[in-house]
Each structure stands twice: as C-alpha cells, then as structure tokens.
Amino acid sequence: MRDRRGIVVRGGCGGDGCVSFRREKYIPFGGPDGGDGGDGGNVIVVASSNVVDLSLTGWQKEYVAGDGHRGGGWRKHGKKGDDLAISVPVGTMVFTETASEEEILLADLREQRQSFLVVKGGRGGLGNVHFTTAVNQAPEIASKGKPGEGRCIILELKLITDICIVGQPNSGKSTLLAAVSRARPEIADYPFTTRQPVLGVMPGDRRDYIVAEIPGLVEGAHLGKGLGNGFLRHVERTGLLIYLLDGSSPAVLDDVRTLDREIAVQEGLSRKPKVVVVNKIDLPEVQAHLPEIKKSLAPILPELAAPVFYISAVSGQAVLELLRKAVAMVDQASQDGERTAQSQVAVFRPKPRR
C-alpha cells in the first residue's frame, strides 16, 4: 500500500492568440478577426472510494494537464485544455513544501468526490482583435499563451476509520477483523502475516462502521523494529483503538504496556478512547490463567481509562458484547467531536458601514 508520495503537477499551457484579418468579397478592410487562445487545463485531486492507495497510475512523477488550443480566424476562441483529475483515496491530505522543507497542508480530502484544484492552467493569449488602436487598425500582433502553474506536492493517505485494531503480531487481529466484517485478511500462525493495513465494513444498527487492522507492533517499532510504526499514521484519524492482546502470551501486562508505549509515540494517539481486549480465551491454558491475567491487568485499566473484554475471535465468545461497547464509544466520541467542532465555528458579525 503506497501511502505517501511526492509528485510534480503542472497546468496546461494557454493556447496562442491568432493573427488574422477578415477577408470577404465586397468587404474591403475587413479588419482583424484573430480569436483568443484557450486556457490551459487545471490539475485537480479528487477523492474516490474506488481507489485504495496512492499508486496513482504507476511510477509517473509529473502530471500535466492538457494545453489550450490556438485561437482561429473569425474570432474563433481556442478550445480549453483538458483538466487532469488525479484520483486518490478518501483520507488523502495534500501538502506543499516550503523552501525550509516545512510541509504546509493545502487540502484534506475526507469525503467521496471532494476535490481540490492544485494548479491552474495558463491563460490563453489574446488574438489580434484586442490590439487595434486609433493609429493601428490592422495590428499584426497577438499574445502568446501563458505557461501553466507548476508545483511539487506531497500526497499522504491517512485512513479515516471508526475502529482500529492494534496489537502485537499473532495476537489475532486479522481473525477478529474477519469475525466482525466481510474483510478476508490472511490469517496464519506466524508473526507479520498482515503487512499492510486492512479495512473492513461492519454493519451496525444505525450505520456501517469502518474497522481497520494495522500490522503488528513490537517493542521498538518506533525505532524501526519489526515492520516499524509508519502505519500509525492510519490510526491518527480513528474513533476508537482496540488493544488486542494474546491471552496465551506469558506476560499480558507487559504486552499491553509495550503496546501503549509504542502507540503513545505518535502524537495525539494517547488521548484516543481505547478498549483492552484479551483474545484466545477458548484455549484451555488461557482459561487456566484467566484469574491471574485479570488480576495483573487491574492496575493499568484506570491508567488507560479503558474497559476490558475477554474474548475468543475464533469461537465468537464475548465478541458481540465487545462490539456493542465499541460502537457506543465510537458514537459518543463522534458526538463529542461534533460538539467541539460546533463550538469552534468562527462567527463573523460585520458591522454596517457608516
């Protein structure tokens, strides 16, 4: 999954204006009639739910819109250059880089079909009709079309999800995702089976919820261990985090602490609502240790402000209860988010001019 990419975009050149004179039988000195050139096409970035990553159309680095056509005689205006629409996944952010390598956000495409005009095409040149003056009634000049704007942009995909399952490798993230949604990620008894974020849609009573799983996080992921922590950018815009723990691990408490440390490295993630989930309780050895696990987790739950569930993603035990709670927390978080967004809306009260 390609989730960050720098490209060069360039608007089309404007078409040249035309030098032409009206020549018709019985009309002497018909005057200039050269039309204007068409404007160059614009480059637009459009969010589409049919696009899954930023591979775009291969390894192309420069995206150029169509050039405007030349103007013609009879005051004919040249055709406008074709716009170039670059389709990107929903959740793509468009940045530009300043000279000091600081990234400035230009647009955040959060909704299907939301678009952003990145660069404009050049203006078409003027035909010679515009150059007549009192002293020059037959100008033989027209202006050239302007070149389109050019710019380097960085596209970065940050998935927008409701629930994101994070955990150590092999804890059963893919199994849980497959149990709650139609997604069919690869499930296998070895670490790092999942190497890319996987999305699934979970049908709810009031709406569908997007559930995601990211590849396993190990201790030191922020230093590049395992598959690294680059996938955490996809967790930034989730409503709820599920900390999925392997109940058969010898030290479940250490696992949750490690996981929380790795998550906290990414700014803003430690404030997200969380649910701690201990998986694989169908295994007899986990059942035998369940009282110990519960006791060991007791002190960390208030720290994380998270409820805990003991489930089996394979047998489905307690999965429904987990989902009910998760959905309620997501709804609550989105209501709170709406309330803060409303309270932040700027209200302009312009005073009447005297």
- Choose the stretch contacting ligand GTP; rule: CB under 6 A; options: 2-10, 274-282, 290-298, 344-352: 274-282
Q: Distance between CA 302 and CA 307 in Å, rounded?
A: 9
Write down the least CB distance from residue 194 to Mg ion, Å. 3
C-alpha 324: how far from its chain's center? 28
Options 83, 110, 154, 191; binder of ligand GTP; rule CB under 6 A: 191
Counting residues that bind ligand GTP (by CB under 6 A) gives: 24
| 194 is a site residue for ligand GTP (CB under 6 A) | yes
Question: 332 φ, ψ to 5°?
Answer: -60, -45
| 173 is a site residue for ligand GTP (CB under 6 A) | yes
- Choose the stretch contacting ligand GTP; rule: CB under 6 A; options: 119-127, 147-155, 170-178, 302-310: 170-178
- Provide the strand spans (E) within 125-283: 150-157, 161-167, 198-203, 208-213, 238-246, 274-279
| 280 is a site residue for ligand GTP (CB under 6 A) | yes
- Choose the stretch contacting ligand GTP; rule: CB under 6 A; options: 71-79, 231-239, 270-278, 280-288: 280-288
Residue number of the CB atom closest to ligand GTP: 172
| 249 is a site residue for ligand GTP (CB under 6 A) | no
Distances (CA, A) of 39 to 65, 78, 243, 337: 11, 8, 54, 43
Options 20, 128, 161, 170; binder of ligand GTP; rule CB under 6 A: 170
Write down the least CB distance from residue 233 to ligand GTP, Å. 18
Distances (CA, A) of 31 to 61, 132, 156: 46, 9, 54
| 175 is a site residue for Mg ion (CB under 5 A) | no
Q: In what order do the strands lie in the sheet with 150-157?
A: 62-64, 4-10, 150-157, 92-97, 103-109
Compare residues 143 and 279 and give the one whose CB is closer to ligand GTP. 279
| 74 is a site residue for ligand GTP (CB under 6 A) | no
Tokens of 280: 């694989």
| 174 is a site residue for Mg ion (CB under 5 A) | yes
User: Which residues are 278's β-sheet partners?
Assistant: 245, 310
**What burial class does residue 199 get, using C-beta atoms within 10 Å of its C-beta: 0-12 exposed, 13-18 middle, 19+ buried?**
middle
Do residues 5 and 154 lie in contact, with contact meaning Cβ atoms separated by under 8 Å? yes
- Choose the stretch contacting ligand GTP; rule: CB under 6 A; options: 71-79, 126-134, 164-172, 267-275: 164-172
Which residues are at the interface with Mg ion (CB under 5 A)? 173-174, 193-194
